[in-house]
Structure 1
Amino acid sequence: MNVFVIFGASGKVGRVSAASLRNAGHAVRAVVRNESQGERLARMGCEVVLADLLDPASVARAIVGADAVQILCPVPVGDADPGGTMHRMIAIAADALRANPPPHVLALSDYGAELDHGTGITLLFHALEKQLQTAVQHLTVLRAAEHMQNWARVIPAALATGKLPSLHHPLSKRFPTVAAQDVGLLAAELLLDESRRSGSRVVSMEGPRRISALDVARALSDASRREIIAHEVPRNDWTAMLLRAGLGANHAQLIIDLYHTHNAGRIDVEEGIGERRFGTTEFTEVLASMLPGAAAVAS
């Protein structure tokens, strides 16, 4: 029986990938950072393995005997130098996969990862792709648009104040977005695809339709039954807002660089490269799942 190793298996994408593979009858090794994260995965029938992406030995152990590996580079929360930490994670993962390469590796990446400068956090996914291209023979890169679930960060503030803060400028700009669960389902599908045995494959994914900050505010108004107005946060206020949200200065700068490039129209699907897929989950469905928790925080 093939063994599928899922790093970040307790996350929004990884958990769906693991569940999809288990439902199809496959053996899944769920890689998490602590035992509590693995409880739900163990109930699914996954083999739960503890590993830290900054610990080379634990990463190496996690991929032993793997037929396919789903890898990611998570943004470390509360890290003083998230960019530097992510670069170390990438190097450790690439070294482990180079030393013991599985037949297939799928890397979770982002729209804009083909760009080599000025993209903030997305530049780290550029580094992930580049390192893995030289480390493994059969690499699938799944580039996803901005996750719909990211709006959960600002919905409590919107419910409390009636203003939805947005770094997307202008508010009418439509941008690609996708539900995390759709990314997880496609990742599992691509891991199971044996039609390509070697080489690199790039698959870009977004949701069924593009949205704007105005659309988000309108949907939130309808769902919460209160008036919510989209607010274009002035560029000069971005740093202060992000610092108030608890981000460190370096993390805030990575976000600022990303949105500056996004608003310039450079973060999008790489035209003419690879394949395009579209999820089926609408933003209103994701919003409905986020609203109860956001309302509790806002109150």
Structure 2
Amino acid sequence: MFVIFGAAGNVGRVSAAALRRAGCDVRAVVRSAEQGAVLEEIGCEIAIADLLDAASVARAIEGAYAVQILCPVPRADADPATTMRRMIDVSANVLRADPPQRVLALSDYGAEHPSGTGITTLFHTLEMRLAPIPAQLTFLRAAEHMHNWARILPVALARGVLPSLHHPLTKLFPTVAAEDVGLLAAELLLDERPAKEAPRVVSIEGETRVSALDLAHTLGALTHRQITAYEVPRGEWAAMLQGAGLGENHARLITDLYDAHNAGRIDVETGISERRFGSTALADVFAAILARVAATSTASAAAR
């Protein structure tokens, strides 16, 4: 049994579908029965779990051969770092008590740094807490997800301006499509190579690094509009993020992350031997996001 946490998410649902295509039994772990409906249609067993509840996590991994674990940063939380650390502790304790043969943790570029990287510091904690588990352990470190820009694209379309915390606008940085991460995760879970004592660390990013200017150009080309990239001044980051609905603590995690990004600390760890590259282009991801935005707008208009 392959157990996929976060199976309703952009990465998890791709992993679950790939494993089902490979003929594997898959238990899709989600937060609600509604989230599991589509996964059930492709033959997944559905488990409902709360990552803060050890008993539900233990039930989800019972009888597992392999587990793909994800501890997401909780968005609507007054103290997301503390809550995510609790999720990590719960998952690590349960996996240590009932270890499967294989564990793959979805991690982040820069997770080798113990401090000073904002959100990414939490993925360092995840890796450190999982490291002692007696299983064949893989950390899949992904670059910034292209889909993260989904929340900003409607604003960019409304104003003709794409705000960026990446400085300068010409700076190239790694990104990756969630679909490519999900497919690689499934591939690594199925990889039967002999186990090593140390965790296996694999990185993934897209074939081409991009800049904020590239993002704006791509969005403009897809929408046949003039979209200008805007370098948000450092002193305005916190206010902008809180104005978008994030709490003060969450905003601080993001500002610390982009400070680290702009200092060149969020990248492939020096000496990593396994680097992979996704094939999905930025334009394809943005086109899919725009299609969903248009469909949502159409549905909202029809409801009125």
Q: TM-score scaled to structure 1, two decimals?
A: 0.97
CA positional deviation for 1:266: 0.7
Give, in whole Å, the separation in 2 of the partners of 1:118 and 1:197. Answer: 32
Query: Which one of the candidate residues 58, 61, 66 is aligned to 2:59?
Result: 61
2:31 corresponds to 1:24: no
2:115 corresponds to 1:94: no
Give, in whole Å, the separation in 1 of the partners of 2:12 and 2:83. Answer: 21
Distance 1:274 1:94, change over 3 A: farther
CA positional deviation for 1:55: 0.2
| 1:236 paired residue number | 235
CA positional deviation for 1:196: 2.7
| 2:146 paired residue number | 148
CA positional deviation for 1:296: 6.4
What SS is found at the alignment partner of 2:269? coil
CA positional deviation for 1:153: 1.2
| 2:301 paired residue number | none
1:12-52 CA deviation, whole Å, 9 max, x = no partner? Answer: 00000000000111000000010000000000100000000
Q: 1:126-141 to 2 correspondence within 5 Å?
A: 126-141=124-139
CA positional deviation for 1:198: 4.0
Give, in whole Å, the separation in 1 of the partners of 2:220 and 2:186. Answer: 34
What SS is found at the alignment partner of 2:131? helix
Residue segments in structure 2 that go unaligned for 5+ positions in a row? 299-304
| 1:280 paired residue number | 279
Distance 1:171 1:298, change over 3 A: farther
Distance 1:218 1:170, change over 3 A: same
What SS is found at the alignment partner of 2:132? helix
1:53-83 CA deviation, whole Å, 9 max, x = no partner? Answer: 0000000111111000000111112100000
2:78 corresponds to 1:80: yes
Aligned partner letter, 1:44: I
Asked if structure 2 preserves the Cα contact closer than 8 Å seen for 1:158 and 1:228, the reply is yes
What SS is found at the alignment partner of 1:141? strand
| 1:210 paired residue number | 209
Aligned partner letter, 2:49: A
Give, in whole Å, the separation in 2 of the partners of 1:220 and 1:297. Answer: 18
RMSD: 1.2
Question: Aligned pair count?
Answer: 297
Aligned partner letter, 1:33: R
Query: Which one of the candidate residues 179, 185, 188 is aligned to 1:187?
Result: 185
1:253-282 CA deviation, whole Å, 9 max, x = no partner? Answer: 000000001000110000212410000001
Give, in whole Å, the separation in 1 of the partners of 2:248 and 2:210. Answer: 29
CA positional deviation for 1:298: 8.2
Give, in whole Å, the separation in 1 of the partners of 2:293 and 2:42. Answer: 28
CA positional deviation for 1:295: 4.9
Give, in whole Å, the separation in 2 of the partners of 1:193 and 1:57. Answer: 29
Asked if structure 2 preserves the Cα contact closer than 8 Å seen for 1:201 and 1:274, the reply is no
Aligned partner letter, 2:55: A
Asked if structure 2 preserves the Cα contact closer than 8 Å seen for 1:159 and 1:298, the reply is no
Give, in whole Å, the separation in 1 of the partners of 2:167 and 2:295. Answer: 29
Asked if structure 2 preserves the Cα contact closer than 8 Å seen for 1:31 and 1:49, the reply is yes
Give, in whole Å, the separation in 1 of the partners of 2:295 and 2:215. Answer: 19
1:203-249 CA deviation, whole Å, 9 max, x = no partner? Answer: 00000100000000001111000100000000010011001110000
Asked if structure 2 preserves the Cα contact closer than 8 Å seen for 1:156 and 1:295, the reply is no
What SS is found at the alignment partner of 2:103? strand
Give, in whole Å, the separation in 1 of the partners of 2:194 and 2:223. Answer: 46
Aligned partner letter, 1:284: A
What SS is found at the alignment partner of 1:261? helix
Aligned partner letter, 1:17: S
What SS is found at the alignment partner of 1:217? helix
Aligned partner letter, 1:201: R
